[in-house]
Structure 1
Amino acid sequence: MTTSEAPTYALYEHAVGYTMFKIKAYEDIGQIQPEVQSAMTDAQRFQSIVQVHAFEPFRNTEAALENANSIADGVVHVDLLNFLEANLPKKKKKVLLGVGEQRLAASLVEAMPGIRVTFTGVVQELMRGIRSHFRVLAKDLPHAQLGKAQLSLGHSFSRSKVKFDVHRVDNMEWYAYHYPELIKIVPELYNYVRCATAIMDREKMDEAVEMKIKEILQDEQKATTVIEAARTSMGMQISELDLQNIELFAKRVASLAEYRQRLHQYIKDRMEACAPSLSTLIGEQVGARLISHAGSLTNLAKYPASTIQILGAEKALFRALKTRSNTPKYGLLFHSSFIGRAQAKHKGRISRFLANKCSLASRIDCFSDVPVASFGEALRKQVEERLVYYEKGVVPKKNVDVMQEAVEEATVAVAKKRRKAAKRMKMSRETISSEGATE
């Protein structure tokens, strides 16, 4: 770090994003310091010394808070590093960057070895002027949002520094004020809201309510615990209006949970009908995501295994290619249970193997006359054996033997499926003919 030269750029962190200012060229610091001090109270004169060179807004409030915490700790955030690399000149020998924090300056020197950073001398005067005249300097930004962004970030930053959970009361279930023990006995969300709807005022429980609780939980012992805890609960009294609102919200949550269950069952049925092998191999949810991302089952079947492996991680892939860093090992396949069960050192290998099997399963499902789950079961066993091989070294069965067994099972399954379809068709024809005869 040097203080004899005048800085050429200044980095300013605002609640809305990072701003880089280009400073008027001076031979040494002795020339710029008096001009900065004299122009401190005049925005127009200060604007002739400092001009906006680049601006990068934060993606959202969470990103703003992360960057603010990093700067406060003197750590270079990834967003800041990318911003500097993109906007500083390629030849960094003549660049002297001014920053407002000493620890941040030291971290920048470590993160970007070719850059020179200073935080002393005229830099503090420049930062004071930029802070005072930021609205004039950044005139293209919406001024109405600057104050809101500062206020929002200030509250978020203060909350992050508080040691206890300030959201505890806000995040507490409404019904827990009246019956706090229920959430510990019935932690499942769907059963919890159904029990809350059935109980409502715990002081007015009768035999009908007790029967409803037993019917909901399908567990005599747990239902008895709920009933006994309601009689000795430490919860406070609650008004009738609050109970009505709680009942309204509880019914809404229950309906959303039921809708989710119906949607899951629909996806399961559709995947079993159109892609049974892929569904059996990797699960209906991950399989449906792969098909949706590819556009259709036919498109997915045309993809090579290497594309399926990183499907869903395109942004990370292009970013890695641009920065010449390591490419991602997996995309949507990360949600598979196989990736989660594999050791960290084997995740890349199992993701490649799994992508290969997904490619085979999708092609079998797409181009089979009658798709069945037999091949998916065989491929799933192969992935299971491969996991055991990576962990314990047990050699798996040969692929030829596994596929021969799968073909035999698939032949039987296809014949059975065709017999069922023919029987169903015959019954429907008989029904139609009987209805016609009746008319």
Structure 2
Amino acid sequence: MALYLLFESASGYGLFHAYGIDEIGQSVDAVRSSVLDLDRFGKAVKLAAFTPFSSAVDALNQCNAISEGIMTDELRSFLELNLPKPKEGKKAKYSLGVVEPKVGSHISEVTGIPCQSNEFVQELLRGVRLHFDRFISELKKTDLEKAQLGLGHSYSRAKVKFNVNRVDNMVIQAIFLLDTLDKDVNSFSMRGMVSWHFPELVKIVNDNYIYAKLAKYIVNKSELAEKDIPVLADLIGDEDKAKEVVEAAKASMGQDLSPVDLSMSSNSLKEYLVLKRHFSGH
């Protein structure tokens, strides 16, 4: 029994005649080994007919129909025009190989054309897909790639349905993120290690953000000196308070911290400042 192959490309429908199966062997492994060799594969399969899609919209409609297992009127006309017509009252002496079993079932149901979709057919169609641009001389490989890219984008957009709740979901997620940031900011704003090292600082500066910027700059209170007053004044916005910070550091009753503790404290302050900037736009 003769075997024909239906190939749905981005450019149009192709009908191939697998006339030389004996040349490569009738097993799946034999076809698989011959697919990469066009000279060998070309002796087994030849183009019988090709019909291009009329437009990008037509290509998308045909693709959507195939994906849903539906034979369009255009596909039916193409098959009935190019496949051998059996004698009246007799069965067809050929079968049609298709990629999608659902499409094959619909074709058989409507037209009576016997269809098959098995591993052997799939391997033959894989070879057709690989060498498709070689079978049609008028079709350049770049043209085929452009058609595939355009159809791929259109098909994907059509399949991604708009979710009316998606915008609400984004708002909910944004609010949740803000709440999380708020909790993190509050957690980091707890003086913790800095209060052990320089407890007098909190009495001079009450604002968490300014307090964190000061603590990040100071790091080690014992290294604070008169030369730091301009920078402190810029951070606080008050020169008198900057002088007060320096004087408080000299007479501080806080504990000295190890280099490791100072580094951990500095890293925590950096993370707090980043979170605070994200959360409040400082």
TM-score range, shorter chain: 0.5 to 0.7
Query: How many aligned positions are there?
Result: 159
Q: Structure 1 residues 160 and 104 mapped into 2: Cα distance closer, same or farther (>3 Å)? A: same
1:163 aligns with 2:172: no
**Contact 2:20–2:43 under 8 Å retained in 1:** no
**Contact 2:34–2:40 under 8 Å retained in 1:** yes
- Could you tell me how far 1:25 is from its partner in structure 2? 4.6
Match of 2:184 in 1: none
SS of equivalent residue, structure 2 residue 43: helix
Match of 1:123 in 2: 121
Taking the aligned partners of 2:99 and 2:41, their CA distance within structure 1 comes to 18
- Could you tell me how far 1:135 is from its partner in structure 2? 1.7
Which whole-Å deviations, capped at 9, do the CAs of 1:375-418 have from their partners, x for residues lacking one?
Answer: xxxxxxxxxxxxxxxxxxxxxxxxxxxxxxxxxxxxxxxxxxxx
Q: What is the letter of the counterpart of residue 58 of structure 2? A: A
Match of 2:178 in 1: none
SS of equivalent residue, structure 1 residue 11: strand
Q: CA RMSD in A?
A: 2.2
Taking the aligned partners of 1:66 and 1:96, their CA distance within structure 2 comes to 26
TM-score by length of 1: 0.34
**Contact 2:20–2:45 under 8 Å retained in 1:** no
**Contact 2:17–2:47 under 8 Å retained in 1:** yes
Match of 1:149 in 2: 147
Taking the aligned partners of 1:98 and 1:10, their CA distance within structure 2 comes to 5
Match of 1:43 in 2: 38
- Could you tell me how far 1:138 is from its partner in structure 2? 2.1
Taking the aligned partners of 1:127 and 1:58, their CA distance within structure 2 comes to 20
Match of 1:11 in 2: 6
Q: What is the letter of the counterpart of residue 161 of structure 1? A: K
Taking the aligned partners of 1:147 and 1:24, their CA distance within structure 2 comes to 28
Taking the aligned partners of 1:132 and 1:25, their CA distance within structure 2 comes to 18
Q: What is the letter of the counterpart of residue 120 of structure 1? A: N
Which residues in structure 2 correspond to 1:305-344 (within 5 Å)? none
Taking the aligned partners of 2:138 and 2:3, their CA distance within structure 1 comes to 22
Structure 1 unmatched ranges of 5 or more: 166-439
SS of equivalent residue, structure 1 residue 100: coil
Match of 1:95 in 2: 94
Instruction: Select which of 69, 72, 75 maps to 2:70.
Output: 75
Percent identity reads 42
Taking the aligned partners of 1:101 and 1:9, their CA distance within structure 2 comes to 15
Taking the aligned partners of 1:15 and 1:117, their CA distance within structure 2 comes to 22
Structure 2 unmatched ranges of 5 or more: 164-282
**Contact 1:36–1:49 under 8 Å retained in 2:** no
Which whole-Å deviations, capped at 9, do the CAs of 1:165-192 have from their partners, x for residues lacking one?
Answer: 8xxxxxxxxxxxxxxxxxxxxxxxxxxx
- Could you tell me how far 1:140 is from its partner in structure 2? 2.8
Taking the aligned partners of 1:15 and 1:146, their CA distance within structure 2 comes to 7
SS of equivalent residue, structure 1 residue 9: strand
Which whole-Å deviations, capped at 9, do the CAs of 1:178-215 have from their partners, x for residues lacking one?
Answer: xxxxxxxxxxxxxxxxxxxxxxxxxxxxxxxxxxxxxx
Q: What is the letter of the counterpart of residue 14 of structure 1? A: S
Of the two structures, which has the highest relative contact order with CA contacts closer than 8 Å and spacing of 6 or more? 2
Taking the aligned partners of 1:88 and 1:46, their CA distance within structure 2 comes to 22
1:54 aligns with 2:49: yes
Taking the aligned partners of 2:58 and 2:132, their CA distance within structure 1 comes to 21
* Larger Cα-atom Rg: 2
**Contact 1:26–1:32 under 8 Å retained in 2:** no
Taking the aligned partners of 2:125 and 2:13, their CA distance within structure 1 comes to 13
Q: What is the letter of the counterpart of residue 89 of structure 1? A: P
Runs of 4+ in 1 over 6 A off after TM superposition: none
Taking the aligned partners of 1:142 and 1:26, their CA distance within structure 2 comes to 27
Taking the aligned partners of 2:153 and 2:107, their CA distance within structure 1 comes to 27
- Could you tell me how far 1:34 is from its partner in structure 2? 4.5
